[in-house]
Amino acid sequence: MANDPGSLRTALGRVRFLGSAKSGTHHAWHMRVTSVALVPLTILFVWIVASLAGQDYNAVRGMFADRFMPATVMILFIATSAYHMMLGMQTIIEDYVHDEPIKTWSIMGNLLFSILVGFAGLFAVLKLSLT
């Protein structure tokens, strides 16, 4: 959106009447929904990790055989966290990265990283729980 040096149009004139981006509240709203969901999920997650701490392989496998706690709670925590952290990191990138190509690549990298972390965690929990 670099301003053409030869143009007499002002920055306001170029964008006026184009309308909003149509998704202004989407990001902020999803941030809040995931935040609220993560309050109980994080408390349960800490409880699970504290129970797993120092346990050997067979004990950990035994615990994950329980389908609700930890398995389902862990899946909900990982999925919600992955989305929440993707939204949060995008805000940080948009605040500090002003170069347009670097910003676009960073937001894409953020999305891919969050998806990778989320799905790797989900598949691991499913395998631990179901096999």
Partner 1 sequence: MSEVERRRPLSPHLQVYRPMLTMMMSIAHRITGAALYVGALLLVYYLVAAANGPASFATAAWLFGSIIGQIILFGFTWALFHHLLGGIRHAIWDTGYGMDHPAREYLAQATAIGGIALTVIVWAIAYMMR
What are 27's two structure tokens?
Answer: 């990001």
Q: Where on the phi/psi map is residue 85: left (φ > 0), alpha (ψ -120 to 50), or beta?
A: alpha
CB-nearer residue toward partner 1: 19 or 54:
54
**Cis peptide before 40, with omega less than 30 degrees from 0?**
no
Cα separation of 119 and 117, whole Å?
6
82 binds partner 1 per the rule CB under 8 A: yes
Q: Can residue 117 be called a binding residue for partner 1 (CB under 8 A)?
A: yes
Cα distance between residue 76 and residue 70, in whole Å: 10
**Which residue among 73, 81, 83, 106 contacts partner 1 (CB under 8 A)?**
81
- Per-residue binding string, partner 1, 34-73, x by CB under 8 A, is -xx-xx--x---x---xx-xx-xx--xx--x---------
* Helix residue ranges, H only, the chain: 11-15, 26-52, 57-64, 73-96, 100-130
Q: Does 32 interact with partner 1 (rule: CB under 8 A)? A: yes
Instruction: Tell me if 103 sits within 8 A of 93, measured CB to CB.
Output: yes
- Should residue 83 be labelled a site residue for partner 1 when binding is judged by CB under 8 A? no
- Interface with partner 1 (CB under 8 A): 3, 5, 10-11, 32, 35-36, 38-39, 42, 46, 50-51, 53-54, 56-57, 60-61, 64, 74, 78, 81-82, 85, 88-89, 92, 117, 120-121, 123-125, 127-128
